[in-house]
Each structure stands twice: as structure tokens, then as C-alpha cells.
A and B are shown apart, each in its own frame.
Chain A
Amino acid sequence: MSDYLIEVKNLCKSFGDLKVLNNVNLGVKEGERLAIIGGSGCGKSVFLRSLELLEKPDSGQIFIDNQEITAKNADINKIRLNMGMVYQKFNLFSHMDVLDNLCLAPVKLLGVAREDAESSALEWLDRVGLTSKIHEMPGNLSGGQQQRIAICRCLMMRPKVLLFDEPTSALDPTMVGEVLAMIRMLTKRNMTMLIVTHEMNFAREVANKVLFFADHGIYEQGTPDEIFDAPKREKTIAFIRKLKYFNYEILSRNFDLLEMQGQLRSFTEKYGIERKLANRLELCAEELIYEVLNGCYKNIKNININMEISYSEADGATLIKLASGGNKFNPFEAELEALDEEHLGVTILKNIAKSINYIYENNKNYIDIVL
């Protein structure tokens, strides 16, 4: 017997050749509230659905309240009574009114008398302010109302843990608040919850533990402060700071400058980078490339320059990283002697960059410029 409410051991799941989860381990104690975050397709939803066995794991074990749901002879229906699952698309029973939606499972599965079920349904609807909708059909309700009722439907079963699979992703922005408020209310009741979400502020406020999913599993975990303020690993940092990357490779002296500028322009437009900064980026990229071509690759034919631009949607920080072979050459030092027309770019770069860093390592020149 462990004191975990949910325990996952070595969970693996692939869809055909696509590996989604690899060796995931997790223990959730009673009263813990986990926010699960990560990019699209990182397996966070699959992980949550695996707990309910909606996705059948390839290997590994899952224990719910010390009962193994992955065991061959497990009574899955009975173990599922311990959990409630809230879906992105609400999934209310569309042919039943609100009251029937709430009462169906307790009456049929827990043997609760219909009158008792109805009165507890009314209590829950009262708490979320939806008493007047008791005989409405789900199709006549707004998304936010449907989702709150879907949560009530789970709560009617008195589950030990609630699983939320992106509960607000299908809602329009005006309705997100009412659903989040309801989940907040549940935190006060010390409900154990696992929430897959894209609402970072909400995750930070509600969760007492955050899991960041990447690379087929839990990439980094910690308290909300640790994950949101001081993420340690590379992908977490990129995700939290909403880093967007632009990559361009140059293999010839006669590279297509216009193509690069076009791609860079659509990158800046895509992420709404303001015009002034975008112009600077374009200018810096171009000047830097020509400096390197004329410096590092002086009299060398085979050219290999890799430029990466990262932009943080969170704070607007912009970084140009350039890696290049060829001779050891730092354009920012070589430039000291003359300030002529040809090296105008370097002067501009020096003026607008917040910081410039140059390293020569393993026969490669690395230049980092923070804008």
C-alpha cells in the first residue's frame, strides 16, 4: 500500500511508430493539484486519458487508490468510480436535460434514490448558479454553462480525484472565467485534481505542482514558482518564455538574400513583432552574414553558416545566434581600425545591440547578439 492516490509506473504509449509517452513515472497524493502544461502533441492529454484507460498503455502500470487499473482482470468500471473526467468538449449527454445528465450515473451506478440524486443535483447547480437551467437541454446552453454542468456531473459521483483535459480550450474568452472560477472553488474543498491546461496564469494560481511535458514524458516538474520563475531545463525555458525560433542556413556565397529576408519578414509578422524591431532584425541579420562571409570565409569556398533568431513572446527579448566555420574571426574586434562604408553594418550592430558575445570553440565561430 502506498499513500499515493494515483501512481504511475513506467508508462509507455505509442501510436504506430509515433512514440508519445516513454517511461513516465508519477505519484499524486491526496489534496495535490497538478497542472500539466506543454506544447501541442507533447502527450499530456494522452497521459491524462491513460489514467482513465481511455488510451490503452503499451506497457507500465497505473494504480488508482491502490487498485491497478492496468491489471488484466481489473474491474475497470469500478475503479473509474474513483475518478471524474472533464473533457474539452464537455460531452454532456445531448438527448437528456441537465437534471438527467446529473442524476443518471448516481442512480444507475451508485444506487442512489432518484429523489436524493435530484436534491444533490440541485445543491450543485445552486453552488454554480445554474438552478434555472435544470430542465434545459445541453444544446441550448452556452459552452461555459455546459462545462460547469459537466463538472457537476462528475462531482455527483463523489470522486476522489478530478481529471481536467483542457477544460477551457473549447470556450470563447468570455466564458473561460466562469469555468476557472468553479475549479478555483474546488481547490477550497481540497479536491485532488490533475489539470491539463494552456492557461498559464491559472495553472500558477491553482496548482501546487506543475508538470511540464516534453520529450515523451515529464520533462521538468516543480512548484509553480520553480517552473514559471526559474525553469531549469532548456525546453521548459523556451516554453515558459514562449520562445519562437527562426532558422536559416547559408551554404553558398551567392545565397538568396531576398528569400532569407522574405522568410524573416513572415516570421516577424506571424508573431506580431513590431515593425521597428523587425527592421532592425533584418538589418542585423544581413550585415552579420556579410561580415562573416567576408571575414571567416575569406578565400574559403565551402561555406556553412547557421543563423538562429529567437524571440520571446513573453517579454519580447530577441536573440540572434550565428554559428560559422571557417577562420577564427571576430567581426567586432577586427573592425577597430577603420570605420568605412563597408563596415557600416558592424557599427550599426554595436549601436543597437544590448550585448554581443563571441566565442571560438571546436573550430567554429559563435556570435550571440541580444537585441
Chain B
Amino acid sequence: MQLNEILYKILIQGGSYLTILKGLNATIRISLFALLFGTLLGAVICAFRMSSYKILNIPAKLYILVLRGSPVLMLLMLMYYGIFARSSLEAETIAVITFALNTAAHIAELLRSAISAADYGQYEAARTLGFSAFQAFKLITLPQIIHIAKPVYQSNIINLIQWTSVVGYVSITDLTRVINNIASRTMQPMAAIIIGMLIYLALAYIVHGLFALSDILKFKKRV
């Protein structure tokens, strides 16, 4: 079979590209919401983790330990077949919750390391100039935390996108599931899977590009 014939079968025949786009849409949606809620929850857990009250920091430590130490697919299955088995929640919502919980654990540790790496002396300098604790954090510490955390955050996002490829296990038709279906329908697993990988690769590069763009914009603003 010719290459263009294979591509036609995989991408075009019977509106194949539409299913791929739908799958891609599901992947992006789950990743985006999981990232959003995961980051917010991660910030809260990080605050608990760094609190000097044991009642807050011990549960946070435990949370991070368990969630970072167990496979996200296990958690997803536990949620879908266990905790939310009788609820009327959609599979996709359950996936978002699962990935948000998992991401939160990673983000919490990421934020914690970034905060410890930020220069406390600069915070003190801001305080002695007369800034309040909140102002000093917002103006001095936060921008530095963001700067330190950015590269790791970026790779967390890419990991998250890749991990969402397991949602097919709980009946969600995401990009991986779609590619799998096409592979069996067309009997061309090799080509179909390579195309799927290329799409994931493109997503990763888009994330990478967005971060690079934000750096460039920041630099331009300064100059």
C-alpha cells in the first residue's frame, strides 16, 4: 500500500479527522481543567505543608506521600469503579478530579522547593523599606517563585498531558483511544500510532512554545 493511501485511510476516510479532533479536544480539556484545579489545590496543600501547625502539615505530608507515590491509573480506577461508582458524575469529570488531585501533589512539592529557594533576605529588605508582609510577598517573593518554578511547572504540564492517555480505561474517548480505534479499524497500527505520537509531541511543543513566548514578552517589557 502506498503511503498516501495509508494516510488517507487513517486521517480522512469516513471523517476520521473529526474523531481525531474530538479525541484531541477531550485530552486538552481534561489536561487543562486538571491543571487549573491541580495548581490551585497544590498551592493550598503547599501552604498546609509549610505551616508550622502539625494538624495542617501532617495531613499535607501524607497526601503528598500517597498521591506522588501511587500510579495515577490506579487512582483513576479507584475513583471510577470505587468512590464515584454510584454517583451520576460523568467519566470525564471523574478524570479531571483524579488528575487534579495527582497534579496537586506534584505542584505542592514544586512550590515548596521554589519558596525555599527564594531569597528571604530580599523579602526582609522589602519589609524594612516599609512594605507589608502581603506586599512584600506579592512584589518580591512571588515573582521569584514563579521564575524558579517555571521550568519544572512546564514539564509537569507535559507529563500531565501524557498521563491523561490512560483515561481510555474508564470509557473516555480521548486522543489515545481514538488512535487505538483507528489503528484497529484500518489495520495500520504502525502508522496510526506514529501519527498519534506526533500529535502528543506537537502538544508538548506548543506548551514549550507558550512558555518561551511568555519569557520573550517579559524580556521585551523590560527593554
User: With a CB–CB cut-off of 8 A, which chain A residues contact B143?
Assistant: 95
CA gap between A77 and B133 in the complex, in Å = 9
User: Across the interface, which residues of A come within 8 angstroms of B186, CB to CB?
Assistant: none
Which of B13-21, B27-35, B119-127 is near enough to bind chain A? B119-127
Q: Is the CB of A109 within 8 A of B121?
A: no
The answer on a CB contact under 8 Å between B132 and A77 is yes
Interface membership of A84, Cβ < 8 A? yes
Smallest CB-CB separation from B132: which chain A residue?
A77
- Tell me the complex Cα distance, A108–B139, Å: 10
Q: Is the CB of A91 within 8 A of B121?
A: yes
Q: Which residues of B contact A81 (CB under 8 A)?
A: 130
Interface centre among A52, A77, A150, A153 (most CB of B within 10 A): A77
Q: What is the CB-to-nearest-CB distance from A169 to chain B, in angstroms, rounded to a whole number?
A: 14
- A135 CB to closest chain B CB (Å) equals 8
For residue A78, CB closer than 8 A to chain B, the reply is: yes
B135 contacts partner chain A, Cβ-Cβ < 8 Å: yes
> Between A and B, how many residue pairs show CB distances below 8 Å?
60
Could you say which of B119, B127, B135 contacts A94, with CB atoms under 8 Å apart? Answer: B119
Q: Which residues of chain A are near B220, meaning CB under 8 Å? A: none
How many A residues face the partner with a CB closer than 8 A? 25
Chain B residues within 8 Å of A94, by CB: 119, 122, 144
Tell me the minimal C-beta distance from B177 to chain A in angstroms.
43
Residue B128 at the chain A interface, CB threshold 8 Å: yes
B122 touches A92 (CB 8 A): yes
Shortest distance between the CB of B30 and any CB in chain A (Å) = 34
Residues in B118-157 with C-beta less than 8 Å from chain A? 119, 121-122, 124-132, 135, 139-140, 143-144, 147
Given contacts A91-B121, A91-B124, A94-B119, contact A109 B129 (CB under 8 A): yes
Task: Decide if B125 touches A80 in the complex (CB within 8 Å).
Answer: no
CB contacts (< 8 Å) of B124 on chain A: these are 54, 87, 91
**Residues of chain B lying within 8 A (CB to CB) of residue A109:** 129-131
Q: Which residues of B contact A154 (CB under 8 A)?
A: 129
Partner pick for B130 among A80, A87, A91, A92, CB 8 A cutoff:
A80
Could you say which residues of chain B place their CB within 8 Å of the CB of A108?
A: 131, 135, 139
Judge whether A83 and B128 touch: CB under 8 Å.
yes
Q: Are A80 and B128 in contact (CB under 8 A)?
A: yes
Q: Which B residues are CB-close (under 8 A) to A85?
A: 125, 128
6 A-B pairs with C-beta separation under 8 A: A77-B127, A94-B144, A105-B126, A108-B139, A157-B129, A157-B130
Could you tell me which B residues sit within 8 Å of A by CB distance?
119, 121-122, 124-132, 135, 139-140, 143-144, 147, 222
Q: Which residues of A contact B (CB under 8 A)?
A: 52, 54, 77-78, 80-81, 83-85, 87, 89, 91-95, 97, 104-105, 108-109, 150, 153-154, 157
Additional A-B contacts beyond A78-B130, A91-B125, A93-B126 (6; CB < 8 A): A87-B124, A95-B140, A95-B143, A104-B129, A105-B130, A157-B130
A-B pairs, top 6 by smallest CB distance, nearest first, are A91-B125, A85-B128, A91-B121, A105-B129, A81-B130, A80-B130
